[in-house]
Structure 1
Amino acid sequence: MVGIIIASHGEFAKGIKQSGSMIFGEQEDVQAVTLMPDMGPDDLKAKLEEAVATFKDQDQVLFLVDLWGGTPFNQVNGLFEAHKDKWAVVAGLNLPMLIEAYASRLSMESAQEIAAHIIETAKEGVKVRPESLQPKEAKAAAPADTSANAGRPGSFDYVLARIDSRLLHGQVATAWSKSVTPTRIIVVSDAVAKDDLRTQLIQQAAPVGVKAHVVPVDQMIKLAKDDKHFGGQRALLLFETPQDALRAIEGGVPLKELNVGSMAHSVGKVQPNKVLAFDQNDIDTFKKLEDKGVKFDVRKVPTDSKDNMDAILNKAQDEINKNK
C-alpha cells in the first residue's frame, strides 16, 4: 500500500487527517507531520524521515503538503530528489484531495499514479455560492452518464441500500460512492420529498458524475416494479429510518441487505454504541426486516469492520427494559 505523509505549517496536517478519518475511516500507513513555530528546517526533515520509516513499503510514498514553496514543501522536496522515480509530491492540500488519495490506494499501487489522479478532484472541490461568482471557465455541464449499459433495456442494479439519519453526507458522497460506484443516489423519504430545501441540498451534495434524487417511499416502490428504462443504472438507496426501509421492502423493492450507518439519538431512545440509537419501534422494525431474510451490514464506511447487529439490538433491548 502506498504510504501517505501529510505535511503542513502548524496543526493543519493533524486536523485534516482527523477529518479524513471521520469521513473515510481510519487509515494505515498515513502520518501527519507538522512544522511548529519552535522548529527549524532540520527538525522538520528529521520528523519526515521518521514518518517514512514507519511505512511497510517505503518505496511508494505520496507527500501531500499545504503550500508550494513553503518549508514543509522544501524539506519534502529535498527527500524526494533521491526517490523521484517512485515517490510523488502534491501541494495545495484540501480534504477532497486527501479522501481521493485514500480511495485511490484501494486500486492503485503507485504513488505517482495516485498523485496524477487526485489533482482534478482537488480542483473540483473548490466551489463557490452563489454560482454566479464561479469563474466562467470553471463552469461546466454535469458529466454525461457514460455507463456502458446506460439507456439499454434492463433494471436497476442496487449497489447499496443504507439506513442513515444524515442521508447524503461526506461518508456517503465520498467513501461509499467510491466503493460501490453508483450512477444514481436515491433518497427514499416521504418527509424529505416534501421539503424543497432539503431536497435541493441533497441534489447539490451529489458527487461529480452522480445524479441525486429524492422520492417518497411509494414512488420508489413504483420505480422498483417498473424500472425497465433504468437499464444499466447503479442505484444507491438512502433511507432516513428503518421504518421507511421496511415499507419499501414490503412494497416490493428487492433489497436483500441493508447497510446500517447512523441512527440519531433523540428523546426516548437508547444508544448501545456511538452511532446507533433505538426505541422499541426501531428494534421491532429490525426484527421484522430480519424475519424477511434481510441481512445487516453495520458499519459507517467501507474500511470499518462489520458490527454484529443481533448483539447491538439485544443490548438496546436490555437498556430499554431497564428504563421501564
Structure 2
Amino acid sequence: MIKMMRIDDRLLHGQVAFVWKNHLGISRIVVANDALINDPMQQVTMKMAVPEGVKLLIRSMDDALHILNDERGKALEMLVVVKDPCDALKIMKGLKDPGQVEHLNIGNSGRINREDRKVLTKEVYINEEEVQALKELLAYQIPFEIQMTPTSSKINVKDALDKFEQEG
C-alpha cells in the first residue's frame, strides 16, 4: 500500500526520510525518477538519508510502476517520492489500482527552475503543464495537501489552485 506519494523536487532528504517515515510508519521508500538512475553520486547521498529499517528503491518511472503494480507490494507500507506533479500523474495513471494511494503531498516543487513558473504557495511554483497535472491528480479524490512536515500547517491543493486561478 502506498501510504503517501510525495512531490518534492529535492526528492529524498533527511526531512522526508526520517520525519515522514515516523509519521507514516513506512518500511519502504520508492524514489521514481528517470534522471536519478544515471546519477550515482546523488543515489549515494539519498541512501545515506534513509533511516535504519527502511528499504530504499531508486528506480526509473517505468521500473517504479512495475514494482508498485506487483501484488506483493500491496502488503508493504510505502512512501513514493517523485520530482514534480507531472511525474506524480504518470505514476497515478500507470497504477493498476490508483486507490492504493492513501494520500498525495507536495513539499518543495518548482523552486529550483522558476523561469516559466508562477507562485502557487511559497513552497510550490508551477507552470501550465503542472497546473493541468494537479487538476488531474485532484480528480482521483485522494486527500491532497501541500505540507512540508507532518507537524507543519497544511494547504489544500484544490483551495490553492482555486485561489491561483482567481488571481490569474
Structure 1 residue aligned with 2:78: 235
Alpha-carbon distance, 1:215 to partner: 0.7
Q: Which of these residues, 99, 120, 128, is aligned with residue 272 of structure 1?
A: 120
Q: Give the 5 Å matches for 1:288-303.
A: 288-303=136-151
Name the CA shift for 1:239/1:281 in 2 (closer, same or farther; >3 Å). same
Structure 2 residue aligned with 1:306: 154
Computing the radius of gyration from Cα coordinates, the structure with the larger value is 1
Q: For 1:316, what is the secondary structure of its paired residue? A: helix
Count the aligned residue pairs. 163
Structure 2 residue aligned with 1:198: 42
Looking at structure 2, the residues matched to 317 and 291 of structure 1 have their Cα atoms a distance apart, in angstroms, of: 17
Alpha-carbon distance, 1:231 to partner: 6.5
Q: Which of these residues, 58, 82, 85, is aligned with residue 214 of structure 1?
A: 58
- Code of the aligned partner of 1:244: D
TM-score (norm 2): 0.86
Write the deviation string for residues 123-165 of structure 1: whole angstroms up to 9, x where unpaired: xxxxxxxxxxxxxxxxxxxxxxxxxxxxxxxxxx222211111
% identical aligned pairs: 29
Looking at structure 1, the residues matched to 123 and 58 of structure 2 have their Cα atoms a distance apart, in angstroms, of: 24
Structure 1 residue aligned with 2:105: 259
Structure 2 residue aligned with 1:224: 68
Q: Does 1:247 align with 2:90?
A: yes
Q: Which of these residues, 10, 13, 33, is aligned with residue 189 of structure 1?
A: 33
Q: Which blocks of at least 5 consecutive residues in structure 1 are unaligned? A: 1-156
Looking at structure 1, the residues matched to 163 and 65 of structure 2 have their Cα atoms a distance apart, in angstroms, of: 33
Write the deviation string for residues 216-257 of structure 1: whole angstroms up to 9, x where unpaired: 1111221122242x4643211101111111111111163253
Looking at structure 2, the residues matched to 308 and 297 of structure 1 have their Cα atoms a distance apart, in angstroms, of: 5
Q: Which of these residues, 272, 278, 283, is aligned with residue 131 of structure 2?
A: 283
TM-score (norm 1): 0.47
Work out whether residues 283 and 317 of structure 1, in 8 Å CA contact, stay in contact via their aligned partners in 2. no
Write the deviation string for residues 177-203 of structure 1: whole angstroms up to 9, x where unpaired: 111121111101112122222222111
Superposed CA RMSD in Å reads 1.9
